[in-house]
Copies of this chain bind each other. A is one copy, B any other.
């Protein structure tokens, strides 16, 4: 048996070597950037008018001029015009190139227009106002984005702006999600009294999907020979295998021996934690990573978010800030192991308060709908006081 800290460091010592794929811009959302992205021009690419109004030469105003004949209009999307007479002005639109010979934009609000001339109605003018200067945000060649960034809509806009209609992103490993157990039937089935429907693979596949990761589902009956045969085939095709069930001490818990038989080396089996104690982890000579998770829904779920999700994100270089939350009510349990307490975290006056929702144990996934994540309570204690801070593993955003 290993501790949670040992289990983590073993898992994180076996990251996968990600490959890179090219996707179209709209498909890059929520993917992890695999290339450096540079500005292909200055941003803004020209001195950009940022208010609708009149562009003047500041020195004329400074010299006392208050009325400016409007020479022309500079619209957005039109080549740069130039001010012919420094005593005049050009009408300019937001997004337009600042006309040559002008250096200051007076907004409509501060102007009266009559007979083709603009009278300035303010005495408060600053040279260069209402101009978003060329290269102010970024210079041509500047690195705008680094690999390992989880792409949000803001970055999608940035990629569009620098002309990246195709983007290099990391591709996640081909993954099998394997349930096991004779008691499990399909979702569509009407279960016999002693049977239940498969649900873990759906939860894992859905959790993967939220990370832009695909999983292919399989099911194994509790028959060792058949399991060896099927698992051999799966291990030939997939780089990652997540199993649920069959890893405990029961007579028909064949998963550990099946995995060793097909050449997967055990790196640990059983972690000093609740839920999820029977968690098994190993790697094959051919580089297949195997997470064999306990079959109880809450255990499966906790192990995915505590070990597998950070393993995936670390593998592609995503810097993942860890969160802490404050226990909102006293909590105690027998101690001696790391306890992953089901909590509902709320933002109360800017503080992340974690309300315990202990539920009916690792099989009680009906309880999870009220839960936002797990609070990780350390193994060396048994009583925990309201107000204390502990690591928080969210599985649901508190939007």
Listed in ascending order, the chain A residues whose CB lies under 8 Å from chain B are 25-26, 29-30, 39, 41, 43-46, 48, 50, 52, 73, 75-80, 91, 93-97, 108, 132, 136-138, 144-145, 149-150, 152-165, 181-184, 187-200, 202-207, 209-210, 222, 245, 248-253, 295-297, 301, 313, 320-321, 323-326, 346-347, 349-353, 359-369, 371, 389, 394-399
Contact = CB atoms under 8 A, between A and B. Distances in A.
B94 A248 contact: yes
Given A321-B398, A364-B136, A367-B137, A153 B199 contact: no
Contact of A369 (B149, B209, B394): B149
B206 A187 contact: no
A26 B205 contact: yes
Given A50-B363, A371-B154, A209 B397 contact: no
Nearest to A387: B350
A30 B210 contact: yes
Contacts of A297: 157
A163 B197 contact: yes
Contacts of A79: 192-194
- Among A189, A190, A197: residue with most chain B CB under 10 A: A197
A214 to B, nearest CB: 10
The 6 A-B residue pairs whose C-beta atoms are closest, nearest first, are: A77-B182, A77-B183, A157-B203, A154-B368, A153-B206, A160-B199
Contacts of A75: 182, 222, 250-252
Contact of A153 (B184, B207, B248, B252): B207
* Majority SS at the chain A contact face: loop
A182 B79 CA distance: 11
Nearest to A321: B398
11 contacts: A44-B363, A78-B194, A132-B361, A132-B363, A153-B207, A157-B199, A157-B200, A157-B297, A161-B365, A321-B399, A350-B351
Nearest to A399: B320
Nearest to A26: B205
A161 B369 contact: no
Contacts of A209: 26, 29
Task: With a 10 A CB-CB cut-off, give which of A200, A365, A395 has the most chain B CB atoms.
Answer: A365
A346 B350 CA distance: 11
Given A95-B183, A95-B196, A157-B301, 14 more contacts: A76-B250, A78-B182, A80-B193, A93-B253, A108-B249, A153-B210, A154-B301, A154-B369, A154-B396, A157-B365, A159-B202, A160-B198, A160-B203, A162-B197
A31 to B, nearest CB: 11
A188 B203 contact: no
B50 A361 contact: yes
B76 A182 contact: yes
Nearest to A198: B160
Nearest to A298: B154
Instruction: Select the residue from A77, A193, A195, A363 with max chain B CB neighbours within 10 A.
Output: A77
B26 A206 contact: yes
Contact of A152 (B197, B349, B396): B396
A202 B160 contact: yes
